[in-house]
Amino acid sequence: MPLLKSAQARFLGLLATLWLGVFVVTRSILLLTHLGEAQLSAGGVLRLYGEGMIYDLTFLLYALAPLALYLLLCPAWLWRKRWHLRLLQVAMTFGVFLMLFTAVAEWLFWDEFGVRFNFIAVDYLVYSDEVINNILESYPVYPLLAALTVIAVITTALLQPRVRRIAAAPLLSWPERGISLAGAVTAVALSILVVGQDFPRSSGGNAYQHELASNGPYQFFAAFRNNELDYTQFYPQLPETTAATTLRDEVSEANARFVDTDPMGVRRQIDNPGQPRKLNLILVTVESLSAKYMGSEGDARNLTPNLDALRQQSLYFNQFYATGTRTTRGLEAITLSIPPTPGRSIVKRIGRETGFASLGQQLGAQGYDSVFVYGGRGYFDNMNAFFAGNGYRVVDQASVPDEEVTFTNAWGMSDEDLYNQTLKLADADAAAGKPFLLQLMTTSNHRPYSYPEGRIDIPSGTGREGAVKYTDYAIGQFLAQAREKPWFKDTVFVFVADHTAGSAGKEDLPVHNYHIPLFVYAPGLIDAREDSRVASQIDLAPTLMGLLNMDYTSTFFGHNLLRPDTGPGRALIGNYQHLGLFDGQDLAILSPRGLIRRHDDAMGLSVEKAAQATDPLVRRAIAYYEGASYDYGHRLLAWQPSSSHPVRQVSQR
């Protein structure tokens, strides 16, 4: 009997056709709403749908494999049971609902991140409590689910006569089932070998085109396998001596002496001039604060009056860039001063996220109380384990008495509550005569964009615009209260974003979408001025240690931006797959499969072209990323304090 006329094949074919229809409609809607960014010719549209079909069919091979196995093993006597027909109808209803749910979820995910499902969606699944609450507060979930259920039931009812005819069709014989099973296993094996997560996404060109051609569910499951990528296996390398020499040239400063015996190591003794200054540090990492929202950066909506005023009173870096697209990337770069190695951030590499020579460890060895203060619950994104294992004690929402929390949403307490806890911690340390590093992570500037009522003139929960203005308001209130404290005159305040509000673009690494503000504010201690050198989050820790005039043994990859003899400006930016170095004019990008590209005039026309490892800009990029991956893998970034400094024991939480 012909395979395609069998009951099993016809049932699978019906489901697969419905799935393919949903995929094509989803891809078409996304394309129509992003025609300008995709910049497709007629041939490009055909290629997009052709590549999309490969992704779609590959996903269906995996997704329908369990059902295909069941249908091939189901005996004829069971197949003919009346209740089995009802079971097939229920399976069809569930399948249609799942298709519709996936399409809607993809649309909402794209609306927030500008990409198909990726490792971010995997993270969201892991931290389900926060994410579910965030979704419930952001979207009309229950009416939406009810509507999808009704559509699924109606669709199944319309298909019921067809399902009955399929159920009555002839079944495959057992030999035919064996041949079909062997063919299915072969098809799955071939798809694993031929179609990978980066097909064709690492091939350069317009990133929107690759995302539109992709398949969200396929990328979601592929992200489980590829949340950490081995640099030596997937990325271009330099000869070891060239990599080592180039890397040391990059991180070297006149006051640094290398002490690592491994040529690829960056451990060096830093001798900062002058007497050490045990000033207090309050380092505020602000959720999703893109520089573009500031009025002083050109936004006309007056969302940041406090930050715009603060800029005039601070050392402000106007060419400062985030290293990545996620909070954990920002925290990793600020705390460890390491470039974004491929895959997930070190913060989330459970079992290998602790024991580093972090900013908190360095200051703890100098007698500081190093505290990570988080507005949410620190188990999210593995933050508690990361900070507790790298020299900090942790104060998060779970540590704060309920009566001291006035407002919460899905992600945690409001910024005002976080700042109130910070003032409390600073008061306690000051009373004990102990210098402090209070490293904060805010949450209010995040969907669902909710905050206490009556603070600003934009209603809570109405969008990013209100969240940015509330974030600015809370910072203004915090500084007003801090100025009344006796410890204020001895305290340096740093405000920096963890990442921008959106990093997607037609390029894999659109540089302008990584631009964030950096304020260093300490009246009477630091002169207000603007610094225009190109820098990134990995430069913050060594700059703060230099500001304090402290000698230390460094494993930091960043520059002390206060020194006039620092190396040429550069920003290291990336996502979980693509790694870049921007020198203020051009951008080098390293991608899986050893792909190397340049974007000349990266902030302007951004002309993409292939490049070689011998290109000086590319060589710098490879040295940073190859070196960071090597040093992390060989444990060359471990905390090894000088014997002259007693190490404070940090309790594990």
What is the Cα–Cα distance from 356 to 316, expressed in whole angstroms? 29
| Distances 191 to 20, 58, 72, 229, 436 between C-alpha atoms, Å | 17, 6, 21, 20, 55
Contact 310, 521 (CB under 8 A): yes
Mean pLDDT, the chain, integer: 88
Which two tokens mark 274?
Answer: 């002058």
Beta strands in 275-381 (DSSP E): 280-286, 315-321, 369-374
Bridging pattern class, strands 256-258 and 436-441: unpaired
Residue 126 has pLDDT above 80, yes or no: no
Top mean pLDDT of 285-294, 500-509, 557-566 is at 285-294
Contact 555, 323 (CB under 8 A): no
End-to-end CA distance of the chain: 64
Residue 642 has pLDDT above 70, yes or no: no
Percent of the chain at pLDDT > 90 equals 59
Q: By mean pLDDT, which of 133-147, 153-167, 351-365, 515-529 is the weakest?
A: 133-147
Q: What is the mean pLDDT of residues 269-282?
A: 95
The per-residue pLDDT for 54 is: 87
Give the pLDDT band (50/70/90) at residue 5.
confident
Contact 314, 519 (CB under 8 A): yes
For 554, counting Cβ atoms within 10 Å of its Cβ (0-12 exposed, 13-18 middle, 19+ buried), the class is buried
Other CB atoms within 10 Å distance of the CB of residue 80:
12
The per-residue pLDDT for 603 is: 92
362 φ, ψ (degrees, to nearest 5): -60, -45
The CA dihedral of 284, 286, 289, 295, to the nearest 10 degrees, is: -50
* Of 126, 135, 106, 142, the residue nearest 448 (C-alpha): 135
What is the Cα–Cα distance from 13 to 180, expressed in whole angstroms? 14
Q: By mean pLDDT, which of 115-129, 209-223, 379-393, 622-636 is the weakest?
A: 115-129
The per-residue pLDDT for 2 is: 65
Residue 431 has pLDDT above 70, yes or no: yes
450: CB partners within 8 A, 6+ apart: 137, 409, 460, 461
The residue ranking higher by pLDDT, 188 or 69, is 69
Summarised one tens digit per residue, pLDDT across range 219-270 is 777 666 555 667 887 899 999 999 999 999 999 999 999 999 999 999 999 9
Residue 575 has pLDDT above 50, yes or no: yes
Q: What is the mean pLDDT of residues 58-66?
A: 88
What is the Cα–Cα distance from 445 to 453, expressed in whole angstroms? 15
Q: What is the mean pLDDT of residues 533-537?
A: 97
Q: By mean pLDDT, which of 402-406, 575-579, 588-592 is the weakest?
A: 575-579
> Tokens 């190591």 — which residue?
265
- CA dihedral over 332, 546, 635, 379, signed as positive or negative: negative
* Of 587, 559, 636, 622, the residue nearest 246 (C-alpha): 622
285 φ, ψ (degrees, to nearest 5): -95, 115
Bridging pattern class, strands 393-395 and 369-374: parallel
DSSP string for residues in 619-646: HHHHHHHHHHHHHHHTTTTB----TTSP
Other CB atoms within 10 Å distance of the CB of residue 211:
23
Give the pLDDT band (50/70/90) at residue 199.
low
What is the Cα–Cα distance from 293 to 303, expressed in whole angstroms? 7
Give the pLDDT band (50/70/90) at residue 550.
very high
The per-residue pLDDT for 497 is: 97
Top mean pLDDT of 37-41, 325-329, 469-473, 571-575 is at 469-473
* Of 621, 234, 286, the residue nearest 445 (C-alpha): 286
The half-sphere exposure of 243 on its side-chain side, counting CA atoms within 13 A, is 22
SS3 category, 252: coil
What is the Cα–Cα distance from 580 to 575, expressed in whole angstroms? 9
